[in-house]
Amino acid sequence: MNPVSILLILLWSYAVVFVILLLKDIFTNRRSLNKNKLTQNIVISGVSNFFDTLGIGSFGIAASLWKFTKSIPDSLIPGTLNTAFAIPTVVEASIYIHRIEMDIPTLALMIASSVIGASIGAGIIAKLNITKIRLTMGIALLAISAVTLCRLNAAGPFGIIGTAKGLDGRTLIAAVIGNFVLGALMPAGIGLYAPCMALVLLLGMSADAAFPVMMGSCAFLMPSAGITFIKEGRYHRGAALPMAFAGVIGVLAASSLVTALPLTLLAYLACFVMILCAGTFFHDAWKSNAFRFKSFKRKKKLSNKKTERWRP
C-alpha cells in the first residue's frame, strides 16, 4: 500500500468516528432540532466551502454571513464551523492529497506537526497577546506576498518562484516548526490557510503544494475540535448535516478550478489570499484594541464616579 493511501485511510477513519458521534448526537436530540432559516444556512455553507477550496477560507465568510442574516446565534458559530465544515474539509484534503503531486514525507510531517501544535501548544500560545500576534501575522503576510509578486515578475533580488514538491534538511525542519506554530495558533483564532501558503512559498515550494498541506492539516484538526463541540452541544444541530452536504457540493464545484490553474496564476491567487487575510488580521487587531480602549474608558469613568461619591 502506497503512503498516500495510508494517509487517506487514517484521515477517513478519523472522519468516520466524527460522523458517528455527530449522527448519534443529532438522533438523540431529534425532537428539539431547530430548522429555522435552513435554506440560508445551506446556501452559506455551499458558498463558504467553495471559496475555502480556492484557499480563501470558509470561517470568515460563513461567520460574517451568519451574523448578517442572524441565521445562527453567535454562541453557536464556533461549534457550527468545526462540526458542519469538518467533512467538506476532509473531502478537500482528499482531493488535493490525491491529485497534487507532493513529497509524502514532507506532507505527513507538516500535517502531524500542525496537529501536535494544536493539541500541545494552543494552551501556551492562547495566553499570548492575540492583538500583537494578529498584527505580526498581517505584516508578515503582506511582506511575503510582496516578495512572491517580485519573484513572479522577476523584480528585485528575490529570485524566481519556487517549484519544489518536497523539502529536506534545514528547510524541512523549518517547515515542521512553522506548521507546528500555525497549528497552535489555530485554536486561538488565527486561521491556518493563508499563513501556510506563505510558509510554503517562503521555503521555495510550488504554489499548488500549499493546498494538500493546509487542507490536510485542517482536515485532521477540525474533527478533533468538532467532537468537543458535539459533546458540549454547542453547535447548530438542526443545520449541521444539511450544511455538511452543501459544503461537499461547494468543494467539488471548486476543486477542478484549482487543479486546472497554471502554477503562475495559482501563485497570484495565493498572493491575493495572503493580502486579503492580512487585512482581516489588521481588522481583528483594530477591533480588539478598540474594545479594550472602550472598556478602559468605561472603567475609568466608573472609578471617577466612585471617587466623587465618597469625597468628603
Distance CA 244, CA 252 (A): 12
Is the pLDDT at 89 greater than 90? The verdict is yes
pTM for the model:
0.76
Amino acid at 47: V
- Cell 493546509 belongs to residue: 214
Cell of 74: 453567535
Cell of 162: 519556487
Tens of pLDDT, residue by residue over 93-113, are 999 888 888 888 999 999 999
Is the pLDDT at 309 greater than 70? The verdict is no
Beta bridge pairs of residue 164: 205
Largest Cα–Cα separation, the chain: 84
* pLDDT score recorded for residue 173: 95
Tens of pLDDT, residue by residue over 157-168, are 556 677 888 888
Distance CA 207, CA 201 (A): 6
Confidence bin at 222 (pLDDT 50/70/90): confident
Lowest-pLDDT range of 23-27, 100-104, 117-121, 228-232: 117-121
Confidence bin at 36 (pLDDT 50/70/90): confident
Amino acid at 53: T
105-130: average pLDDT: 79
Tens of pLDDT, residue by residue over 61-74, are 787 788 788 888 87
Is the pLDDT at 243 greater than 90? The verdict is yes
C-beta of residue 214 within 8 angstroms of C-beta of residue 196? yes
Three-point CA angle 296, 73, 254, nearest 5°:
110
